[in-house]
Structure 1
């Protein structure tokens, strides 16, 4: 397909666009799976459209992600000057919050909008204040995406929301990716915030509806704070939670299992999941992937089948 649409404006959307825009030479020095690299070597993609329903100041990607978009060997980044403009309400919210990531994003977006197109073989179009309303069929498959342009309006809570206008357009698309976030699902007997799609918690300690700690229950990552950030964010998030676990351990605020030994815990895990992977097993898998990568001057060559991973782990 020559024209691809990616719905969403976060880091995952940028990841999809990056893979589609990079050349095989750029990708083959990464840890991308061999079968994916083989498929991408046959790519006919010429245009990639990233669609964001709100403006540059509300973009969910991080500064390093948007910066890399302008460094592709054979793809130009295109942003309409009119869509790069930050509206007055967004600017005020930026000024009040002093969100450094958002400010940096806006600076980069503004620079891209002013950049002259170099005429590279592939074109990346980053759109703001647009929402898809219809997938248009052509010969039994998607042939285009109909868009509605949005205005940003302050709601009763002082938050900017995208409100559809009557301005429509159609862009060609033979392939559409949906990358609009994640919503956590509740577990039995685990306190859950339905509005946010997260486990009820304070800093990682699970709490009940009254705000009282649920002893022995902790959370980290997106199910703790919602779908935001990158791997580094999750690391910091987990460290916060583990810090609270250690505090609770010091004051004996924890479960008191009938069989508290590590051996008993291992036996329980094995009974429930015989194919579980220990840290020692993971290290074997990691070492094997890195070793496979050395031959082709790559960081690693990933296993893509669980059976292959388990074979290495059990060796």
Structure 2
């Protein structure tokens, strides 16, 4: 059985792993639109979090196994269509993730200086499709959202460039961060501390930097009955609340960069002058007794020369595949992609965030992949998968002039980035430009024995 998995982030690699661990005789092509694998783990995790990037080691072990090939720098929908893949594989699994930013639907959202958090993450993580420079001239910055991405953005803005120099950031990122003028970073959440989506470790790590003063107003640490119940419900929520209380009660340590975490402040408008944001307006909220909040009619304008919305990632449609524009997900049942009439499309599956939205941690992603692959294998056993009608995809991509990178090519690029880092006493320094990534991948790819699908 030949299977194409589209997307080499954790969702895609876990789907590959589930296929390889099954009793089925299977060959898997892992198709990735970027020249390098690992998706959000490589391009969505803050550079000062190598602990999380350690997940790459486990993903690496999966792709080292026989029976799987990496086809990098191949964009499904541009270089090859889903229909063409379905004609060449017994099954196609879509694991394209979520890269875009959800919108902040308030007046003033169109002002310059308002950014999606994912755009900034793409910059500092050296994603080849994102900006090479960034305007960091604002002294006061607002971050909307109370999840880990919001903390990542706030922490990177609050740290010095030299603190981040020891990580894998590229030279252009370090040079840009060296000019960062931010001194006050405000993080806004419309609900209370018991509803924050931080993880305790992320929240506690804010204080590890000697340049960051974490400030929480004790007046924001309020709990109604629903908040108290949420706090008692899990150890994680209680730990988050306890850490916030510690921040609120301690004496300031005198660090130069102030990172202020606000609760019960609902952003209602961005204000600007000359088409550029200058402030964010929030309405004070209060608990409504049911775990939600209601407005109090009390408004505050907070100076902000830049605003980052960290209100969730958003998946993009895959050309030729049904898509729910309201939920930004592929319609599915048990991972089986559904046509507009609600019937499963034979041999087409979805897993990860493009299936269920950008929620859950790595464990959820692995469980999701296992469920989807179990259903794929059940369909194969029932004879419900259409037989491929065309030869492998290699010739098609070669005829179209696609510069495919492979697993040997990734090893070459990986070694090059590690050598760049070692020269400066770092573990790695990323290559940013797509053309250079491909060039550094090609020598090893050319030396590898050709494999025909």
Query: Aligning the two structures, in what range does the TM-score lie when normalised by the shorter sequence?
Result: 0.7 to 0.9
Unaligned runs of 5+ in 2: 1-137, 444-453
Q: Determine the C-alpha separation between the residues in 2 that align with 1:162 and 1:283.
A: 51
Contact residue 223 and residue 287 of structure 2 kept, 8 A: no
More displaced 10-residue stretch of structure 1: 211-220 or 242-251? 242-251
**Long gaps (5+) in structure 1:** none
- Number of residue pairs the alignment of both structures matches: 306
Asked if 1:205 corresponds to 2:205, the answer is: no
Root-mean-square deviation over aligned CA pairs: 2.7
Is 2:144 the counterpart of 1:16? no
| Aligned match of 1:266 | 394
Deviations 1:15-63 (A, max 9, x none): 1111111223321111122211112122222110111122212222322
Q: Which residue of 2 is the match for residue 308 of structure 1?
A: 436
SS in 2 for 1:86: coil
State the structure with bigger RCO (CA 8 A, min sep 6), 1 or 2. 2
Supply the distance in 2 between the matched residues of 1:81 and 1:298 (Cα, whole angstroms). 40
Structure 1 stretch displaced more, 1-10 or 246-255: 246-255
Alpha-carbon distance in 1 for matches of 2:308, 2:256:
21
Tell me the residue number matched to 1:293. 421
Return the offset for 1:184: 3.1
Task: Map 1:1-315 to 2 at 5 A.
Answer: 1-95=138-232, 98-138=233-273, 141-153=276-288, 160-187=291-318, 190-193=321-324, 195-207=326-338, 213-230=344-361, 234-235=365-366, 237-259=368-390, 264-271=392-399, 274-315=402-443
Separation in 2 of the partners of 1:59 and 1:53?
10
Distance 1:250 1:87, change over 3 A: same
Q: Normalising by structure 2, report the TM-score.
A: 0.61
Question: Any idea what the Cα deviations from partners look like across 1:197-217, whole Å, max 9, x if unmatched?
Answer: 322334533345787543322
Match of 2:4 in 1: none
Query: Are the aligned partners of 2:230 and 2:237 in contact in 1 as well (CA < 8 Å)?
Result: no
* Contact 1:21/1:72, CA 8 A, preserved across alignment: no
Deviation at 1:138, TM superposition (A): 4.6
Whole-angstrom distance in 2 between the partners of 1:125 and 1:84: 13
1:120 is displaced (CA, Å) by 0.7
Residues 72 and 186 of structure 1: CA distance in aligned 2, closer, same or farther (over 3 Å): same
